[in-house]
Structure 1
C-alpha cells in the first residue's frame, strides 16, 4: 500500500471517530447548556477546568514522550525497553495522581474555594487518576500506530454512555444539576478506563508477554521534564481563560466562553486527527534520516487538515449566531463574537500545520518549552488586562493572539532546526 493512500485511510478512520466524538460532545454540550442554564453550566465548566489543570502534573508531557519512545523502541526491536516504558509510565501516573488528590483534598478542607465550587470538587477529584490513566493508555495505542483504538474508549464510549445516562435522568427526573453531571462523568470515565485497559491487554501487550522488562528511568525522567512543562504550559494557555473568567469575571461568562469553544473543537478536528496519525511516523522517518519522506508527509498532512478545517471556520463565522441560537438557545448568543475571535486564531493554527509535533518528535522539545513560556507570559498579561475590561471577549482575544504568536515563532524554529516546512503554502 502506498504511503499517501495509507495516510488518507488512517486519517479518514481517525477523523471519522473524531467526528462522531465531536457530535456526541456537541449533543452533550447542548443538553448541559439547555437544562442547566448559564449559571449551573458555567459552574460545571469552571470545576472541570480546575480538574483539567489538576490532572496536568500526572499526564503533562507523558503522551508525547510515550509515543516517541514506543515508536523508536518498536522500530529498533528493543522489546524489553518497550515493555519497561509502558510499566513505568503507568506507575508514574498513579503515583502523581494520588499526590495531586491529597493536595486538592487539603485545599478543599481549608476552604480554598467557594462552597458551591468545593461541593463539586469533592466529587470531581476522583476524575484525576482515571483521566490520567486514560491519557497514558491512549498514548500507548498511538505509539503502536493505532490511533483509532486510542480514541474509542474516551472519545466514543464515554460520551455515549454519558448521553444515555443523561437522557434517562432527564426522562425520569426533572431536576438536573452540575452535581449530577459530575457523578455521571465519573461513572463514564471509569467504564472507559476498563475498556481501554482490556483492549491494550488483548491487542498490544500479548506480544510483549515473554519479553524481559528493562528500565532506563533516569533517562525517561530527564526527557519527561521538558515534555511535562510543555504540556503544562500549553494547557494553561487554554484553560487559564476559563479559570480567570471564573475568578475575575462572572460565572455566566465562563458558560459563553465554553459554548464558543464547542465550535473551536470542530475547527481543530482536522489538525488533531492528522497529528494522531503522523506523530509516530514523523518520529520514525526523522530518526532514519529520511527528510524527503518526512517533508512529503508534512505537506500532505497540512493540506488535508486545511481541506477539512477551513470550510468549518468559514461556516462558523458566517452562521455561528444561527447555530448557537438553534443548539444552545438565545441565552447564549453572547458567545458568537467570542466564537469569531477564536476562529481567527484557529485559522492561523491550521494553516501553520503540525509545528509543535515536529519539534517534539525530532528531539527539540527544549525549544518548544522556551517558546511556550514566552507565550504563556503574553497570554497571562493579556488576560489580566483584557478580562476586567471586556470579560469573555477579552479572554477570547488573549487566547487567539497568543495562539497566533506561538505559531509564527514555532514555524521559524521548525525551519531553523529541522529544515522542514509545515505550513500550508509549501
Structure 2
C-alpha cells in the first residue's frame, strides 16, 4: 500500500508547483512535529489535571480569538486581491487599518468571556486574566497570517508565531524536568503571552511594510461591506475548528480536567491520520483557486482527483499504523492514558473517513459557496453537540468519540452531495 502511495505522489508533484507545495508542506511538518513534541512532553511531565486545564482553556482561547477576528483573516486576502487588480492602494491600506482596529477592539471585548468559561465551566478563576490576554494576541496573529498570504510571506508569519509558540511550551516543560519543578498551566499561559506579544510585533515588522501605501477616507457603508464579506468566512473558520473541538469543549463540562486530558491525548494522536490531508489542503489552496477562476476544468479535475486519492490512501495507511500501535503510542504519553485506547480507535476511524472529503470542501469555498459549506459544518457540529451531550453521561469518553465519528460521516456525505449538485467538473 505504501508503494501505491509513492507511485501516486511522485507524478502528482511533477504536475504541481514543487516549490510551493514542498515549502508549505515542510512548514506543516515542522509545526506538527513541534506540536506533538509539546503534547508528549506535557502529557508525560505535567499532572493530568494541569494538562487538562491547559488544553481546555487553550481551546477556548482559540475559538474566542476566531470569533473576534470575524473572518477578516480570510476576507482581507480576497478583498486585497480585488483592490490590487483595480489599482486602489489607498483603499487597500484603509482596509488593513480598519481590520486591525476592528480585530483589536472586538478581541478585547470578547476576551472577558473567558472569565465565564473559567468561572462556570471549571474552578479556574486564577487563570482567566492570563487566558483573556491571549485572545487579542491570537486574534492579531491570525490576521497577520492572512496578510502574509497576500505578500507570499505566510511561511515567515507562521514561523514567527506557531513554531515559536510550540517551542515556548517545549522549553518550559524541559526546564521543569531539568530543574525539578512542577509545570502548571498558568505558567505556560504566562510564557505564551510574553512570547506571543513579541512575535506579533516582529510579525508585523515583516509584513506591514508591504502595505504602507497612501491612505484613503472610507465611508461607513464601505466598512459595512467589509464586515458583510467577512461574515461567511467567520462561519467557515469557526466550523472548521469546532468540528474537531466541540466534543472536547463539552467533555470539560461533564468530565472535568482529567477527562479533558485523557480525551485530548486520544484526539491529538488520532489527528495524525489527517496530517497529509491538512498539509495538502493548505499547500494546494492557491493552486486550486487559480485553476477554478481560470476555468481550466480539466486541470482542476486532475488536481482534485489526484490529491483526493493521495489523501485517502495516506489516511488509511497512517490510521492502520496508529490502531495497530495504539497501546505503544499511548504508553509513550504515560500509563494513565492507556484507558482511552478504544476511544482512540473510534477517533482514528473518524479521521480516516473524513479524508474522503479530499479537496471538495475547499473547492466549495473557492466557488463562493462559503455559506453552504458553513451550513454543512453547522449541521455536523450540532449533531456532534447533541450526541455528545446525550452519550457522554452514559458511555463517558467513548460516547464523545461516537458523536465525533457520526458528525464526520454526516459532513462527508453532505459535502459530496453538494459538490455533485453545484459544481460541474466535467
CA drift at 1:229? 2.3
CA deviation vs aligned residue, 1:340-359 (integer Å, no higher than 9, x gap):
11111111221221222211
Give the equivalent residue in structure 2 for 1:48. 58
Q: Find out whether 1:393 has 2:403 as its counterpart.
A: no
Does residue 287 in structure 1 map to residue 297 in structure 2?
no
Structure 1 residues 183-225: Cα deviation after superposition (integer angstroms, max 9, x where no partner): 1222232233233222213xxx43x434555754222211222
Q: Distance in 2 between matches of 1:3 and 1:71?
A: 27
**2:192 is matched with which residue?**
185
Q: CA deviation at 1:158?
A: 2.1
**Aligned equivalents of 2:98, 2:307: Cα separation in 1:** 32
Report Cα offsets for 1:311-363 as digits up to 9, x if no partner.
222211111221110x2111111232222111111112212212222112211
Moved more, 80-89 or 177-186: 80-89
Measured after TM superposition, the shift of residue 245 of structure 1 is: 1.0
The answer as to whether partners of 1:355 and 1:407 remain within 8 angstroms in 2 is no
| Distance across 2 between alignment mates of 1:301 and 1:238 | 22
Q: TM-score, normalised by structure 1?
A: 0.88
How far apart are 1:251 and its partner, in Å?
2.7
Q: Distance in 2 between matches of 1:304 and 1:174?
A: 45
Q: Matched residue pairs, number?
A: 412
1:385-416 Cα shifts (integer Å, max 9, x gaps): 11111111111111121012112101211222
CA RMSD of aligned residues (A): 2.6
Deviations 1:12-71 (A, max 9, x none): 222222222222111211221122222221122122222223223213533332333344
Unpaired segments ≥5 residues, structure 2? 1-11
Q: Given that residues 71 and 280 in structure 1 are in contact (C-alpha distance below 8 angstroms), is that contact kept between their aligned partners in structure 2? A: no
* Aligned counterparts of 2:313 and 2:153: Cα–Cα separation in 1: 23
Report which stretch shifted further, 209-218 or 345-354.
Answer: 209-218
Residue 373 of structure 2, aligned match among 365, 368, 383: 368
Partner residue in 2 for 1:85: 95
Counterpart check, 1:341 vs 2:373 = no
Which residue is 2:139 aligned to? 132
CA separation of 1:267 and 1:288: change in aligned 2, threshold 3 A: same
- Contact 2:254–2:393 at 8 Å: present in 1 too? yes
Q: Within 2, Cα distance between the matches of 1:67 and 1:285?
A: 17
Instruction: List, as ranges, runs of 4+ consecutive aligned residues in structure 1 with deviation greater than 4 Å.
Output: 2-6, 71-78, 211-215
Residue 204 (structure 2) pairs with residue 223 (structure 1): no
- The match for 1:270 among 266, 273, 276 is 276
1:82 Cα shift? 3.8
